[in-house]
Amino acid sequence: MPNPSSPANGLEAARFQIHEIGSIMSVRECIVRVKGMPSCINGQIVDFESGGRGMVFGFNENEVHVLVLNTKGTLHIGERVLSSGEFLSLPVGEGFRGRIVNGLCEPVDGLGPIPSQDNYPVFREAPGVMDRVPVKETLETGTILLDAVIPIAKGQRQLLIGDRLTGKTTVAVDVILNQANLDVVCVYCCIGKPLSSLQKVLNLFQERGVLPYTIVVSGVASASMGEQYLAPYTATMLGEYFMNKGKDVFVVFDDLTKHAWVYRQISLLIERAPGREAYPGDIFYVHSQMMERAGYLKEELGGGSMTFFPIVEILQGDVTGYISSNLISMTDGQIYFSTALFNKGIRPAIDFGLSVSRIGNKAQWPAMKALSSQLRLEYIQYQELLQMTQLRTTGLSREAEDRMKRGQAITQLLIQDKNKPMSMEAEIMYLFALSMGLLDTLSTNDVKKFKDEFVPLVEREFPDLFKEIRTTQILNDTSIEMLYEALNHYFAQV
Ligand code: ATP
Ligand code: MG
């Protein structure tokens, strides 16, 4: 008897290819039941006789459930289905940058075919622990609040969580805008959103010249359920190509709530037992496997990284929902968007208290770390004081008054217009001014003016300061001296 574990035997076995031909028993929306494919495996690709492809999504003794990915016509009962035993793999390559593709990696921007370098499996396993290194570089988000208080490291998974219309997409898109000169490949994956939402993002990308380093994966609500389900995997796969080439990649999933809905719908169609909130039991596994694919690869594997920003939508600030609490537990931190703050006019409407980045500060620039270490505490103390003073307006101690002023200055400094990312150097300069107490005495308008005018002044008069901060990542004597000079210059003229 041949030894089944011997390598020679393995090679022999590889020569066999199983081709099975089944036939369609029933078609129900995106799910087709097929008989006559007894040796199929979950995730295998099948071809329909009339054209188009499907993916094996489950089976029992009598039938196979196939998720329709695309069709070329209508599927009929009795139609033949061919399984060649292959798993879904799609083209990847350099040429995908600047393009818009659907969940099956086909161009949908009308710019013709995309040259590909390779084919990658869509459902690839995440890199193992031994292939990774701890995070060591910061991802410059361009949003001062994030860089200072909720810093993100390359390779991190950070959840953006909040109610409808609280600015989640804006913050994620601003990170992409900020990568213009930072050599990061960005992927924006739209899942289950109306085409108009995607169009808005695309217009902004086009206007700001972001597309040369960005890939858009479109799984909009009007696409087939199969494409919507695949979109985040396709986005991850495209990112993996660049990560394996040693690049830093940043992926936004907008949003995974819709992805969970799609998965629930598909599962209900194949009559899987619904669990909590009617989601199938394996939704945790589905998302956690996807999130695992982010990370920082070791030098021998090219030293690339992939950072994930999954977005999840919640209802009335309730983070305890099934999908959101799952995702909180499988990411390295969350950014919580609050409707109350949004309504107060605070933008970005991020709640400090409920937001956390568990690993980002390990990779923060030392200058930023030093300047922002007290910020969270000072801000939270200010919020508490603010609540107290709403009840009692007189007799505030000198110390409390100072804290109030500092809190107001922080609030003003952290307010940021949409689509106006700041460089890390500029953020450090502002926080330095704050730490010197220079903003405490300014009025709201004067802080705004300072934010508008100070950095352009430095660019004009002290251009070396930018270079000094970026190369050293610390505030050394040279840069502090220059900063003092620039601040003197600014405050002398106002
Ligand atoms: P949805 O639930 O529809 O996905 P969302 O949470 O992604 O919404 P956005 O679409 O990013 O929210 O933003 C909602 C609105 O708030 C938009 O009109 C946007 O222009 C505005 N907005 C968001 N952030 C800012 C900001 N920093 N400054 C000014 N306006 C902002
Ligand atoms: Mg959005």
Enumerate the domain spans of the chain: 20-87, 91-364, 371-493
Burial class (CB in 10 A: 0-12, 13-18, 19+), 85: middle
Torsion (CA) 224, 225, 229, 235 in degrees, nearest 10: 20
Residue of 241, 236, 263, 240 lying closest to 252 (CA atoms): 236
CA of 225 to the centre of ligand 1 (A): 26
Classify strands 31-35 and 356-357 as parallel, antiparallel or unpaired.
unpaired
CATH 1.20.150.20 assigned to 371-493: yes
Question: Which residue out of 141, 146, 160, 165 has the highest number of ligand 1 atoms within 8 Å of its CB and is therefore the one to mutate?
Answer: 165
What CATH number has the domain spanning 91-364? 3.40.50.300
- What is the distance between the alpha carbons of residues 17 and 256, in angstroms, rounded to a whole number? 36
Q: What pLDDT score was predicted for residue 393?
A: 62
- What is the distance between the alpha carbons of residues 65 and 440, in angstroms, rounded to a whole number? 65
* CATH classification for the domain delimited by 20-87, as one of 3.40.50.300, 3.40.50.170, 2.60.40.10, 2.40.30.20: 2.40.30.20
Residue 358: active-site member:
yes
The answer to whether the CB of 338 is under 6 A from ligand 1 is no
- Structure confidence by residue, pLDDT tens digits, 430-469: 999 999 999 999 999 999 999 999 999 999 999 999 999 9
33 DSSP β-pair partners: 26, 65
- Say yes or no to pLDDT of 1 above 60: no
Point out the catalytic residue in the list 358, 392, 460, 470: 358
Task: Examine domains 20-87 and 371-493 and report if their fold is the same.
Answer: no
The length of the chain, given as a count of residues: 494
Tell me the pTM. Answer: 0.94
Residue of 349, 352, 355 lying closest to 168 (CA atoms): 349
The answer to whether the CB of 347 is under 6 A from ligand 1 is yes
- Say yes or no to pLDDT of 294 above 60: yes
- What is the distance between the alpha carbons of residues 478 and 148, in angstroms, rounded to a whole number? 22
Tell me what the pLDDT averaged over the chain comes to: 93
The answer to whether the CB of 170 is under 6 A from ligand 1 is yes
**Phi (first) and psi of residue 454, to 5 degrees:** -65, -50
Cβ neighbours of 7 (radius 10 Å): 8
Q: What pLDDT score was predicted for residue 7?
A: 43
Q: What is the mean pLDDT of residues 237-243?
A: 98
